[in-house]
Every structure is written in structure tokens, then in C-alpha cells.
Chains A and B, each alone.
Chain A
Amino acid sequence: MFCIDPAPRPATVVASVETTVLELGRDDLLKMRRDAPRAAAALVNAVFRNVLSRIRSVDDRIERDLCPNPDASPSDGKALLLPDRTDIPDPWEVCFARLRGSA
């Protein structure tokens, strides 16, 4: 995603074991769009589909975890009550880490 829209990285990625990767930078993608436009289009299309599925997962989390029954759950029709905890509930913490880490 950084290759398409540069922005500060929200997470640090560290190899946990010896790892071989293919590194592709923004300049590489620009060159690829010039020299191999079909391959570049396929790559960007795959990124686009992946990002869409992540946006969908945000939607699903809201629908499933906070609005399990939107027609009945908020007692005053305005607010939902989080579990009585001082930190983010675990499912949300995991969700943020996954979504933001990949964003």
C-alpha cells in the first residue's frame, strides 16, 4: 500500500525467523507500470481487492461485535455499553493491531 499511497508506517515489521522477501518500492512500481503495465495492473488490482476486504472487515466488526442486534441492543437507542474494562476489549485490540498494522 505504501507504494501506491506513501504515508507514515503505523507498525513495525520484524522478521521472526530467517526470511527471504521480494522488496518492491514505489519507484519499482512506477517502473513496472511503464515497462510491464499488465503485470503492474494485476498487482495493483490484487492490492485493491485486499484493501476492500479489510474495509469490509471494519464494517463486519461494527455490525457483529457492537451491533449484534441493532434493533434491540442500545437501551436508550443512542449508546452501546462496552464491557466494564479499563482497556480496549481483546477482540478490538486484535482487530486494531491487524488492521492498522496492515494499513
Chain B
Amino acid sequence: MSNIPADLRYAASHEWARLEADGSVTVGISDHAQEALGDVVFIELPEVGKQLNAGQEAGVVESVKAASDIYAPVGGEVIAINEALADSPESVNSDPYGSWFFKLKPSAVSELDKLLDAAAYQAAADADA
């Protein structure tokens, strides 16, 4: 049974999004996603400054098992990326909600409402299993 924090929003493609006090959106992948991927070995992050639309490919997570695309859950400009992930990709497995991938300045905060809440994501993840 995977961990799904109630204060986050989720994309059907298994990214989580958190609206911060300063209006930025932090993005990572869910416990369900890291569990399905297995040990993560490389992460390809978007470049700072890149403009992304909601649902657009933002990077790649490479595990021993497979390479999986990460998608921007909402549209916006990439304002920060988590450089620490390059040295410890395995932290995504041990701490999926603490190991953020990138931060966005969202184009439209209302896009967060289109994402799933914890209960809806739980239902989607259960159906996936």
C-alpha cells in the first residue's frame, strides 16, 4: 500500500505537485511510481528557464528496469532543479516526497485544480495495481 500525502496534488502519470507559499509549484514522483520503477539510477531533469505545458515531457527517470518519462503536471517555467539527485538518485526510492525534481513558476495556478487529489489518486493507483 503506497504512501499518498493528503496535501499534494497528483497527475495520472504519477507526478506529485505542491503549491508553495511563494506561488511556485514543486514537482516529484509518487511512492507508487518509485515502487513500480525499482531502483532509480539516473535522472534527466529539464533545463532551468524551459517553458513547459501541462502534460509535456519534462525529463526522464531511468531505473534498472526501464526508462520512464516525467511530465509537467501543470504548465510553467522551470525555475529550479534538484542537483542533488544526480549524486543520489536512490533517494527517489527511499524518500519520493522529499526528493523533488524541479520547481515551476506556474502559468496558471488554476491548472492545479485539474490534478487528482489524494483520494482520487489512490483510486487510480489501486486500479493500476
Q: Do A and B bind each other?
A: no
